[in-house]
Amino acid sequence: MRRILDKYPNGCFDMIFADPPYFLSNGGFTCQNGQMVSVNKGDWDKSQGMAADMAFYEEWLGLCYALLKPNGSIWVCGTHHNIYLIGYLMQTLGYHILNNITWEKPNPPPNLSCRFFTHSTETLLWAKKGKRAKHTFQYDVMKAQNGGKQMKSVWQIAPPAASEKTLGKHPTQKPLALLERCIQAASNPNDWIFDPFMGSGTTGVAALKHGRNFCGCEINDEFFELAKKRLQT
């Protein structure tokens, strides 16, 4: 990200979609397809403590702020484990939050402990670069996709289909439909879309599908190769 910023110090991206580590790999278990499975996804998803996690979030959010064009916008995914910290940091860095979108999963994993409500949502914070920035919002496109009615901030979208994982799997892969909606809502054809945590490349797949340009970063070699395959298919 810093190398991109060195080349484009005044910002070069019209929209950013960030799906950062949630730091949830804590040795616990969940239920998946009727089987008990570990929640551990890798060392990259292990918390290093509140102070270190906060410093990590603040660093990349600051870099994204600099990489955005003056009228660009950013989407950031999270759950209650990290989204409140992220929202706080975004506002201290100068972002102006436009919406908190609730992504509702129609068939979430069951609550094994039966000690609280079943977790069935994730949050997407959508923000622009300052209160006066003139961000892009394709209101008419979203309205048309919602049967002629204003689209609300609760989106029910199913997890990635098996067809989206034919080339390989990523433990936190987002559904293509979710990325398509974000990109169609907040950018124009030929805009540049950036993903600082590219993973399996879903953001890029959605961007190219809808006539946008794409740039992504990924430090995991296995995930990077998977993203390349998907983007080249």
Q: Which of 9-13, 130-134, 172-176, 225-229 has the lowest mean pLDDT?
A: 9-13
* Domain count across the chain: 1
CATH at residue 200: 3.40.50.150
Would the pTM count as exceeding 0.95? no
C-alpha gyration radius of the chain? 17
pLDDT(54) > 90: yes
Which of these, 137, 135, 3, 139, lies nearest to 70 by C-alpha position? Answer: 135
Distance CA 94, CA 99 (A): 15
Contact between 17 and 215 (Cβ < 8 Å): no
**Residues 118-121: contacts with CB within 8 Å, 24+ apart?**
119/79, 121/79
Domain coverage including residue 142: 2-232
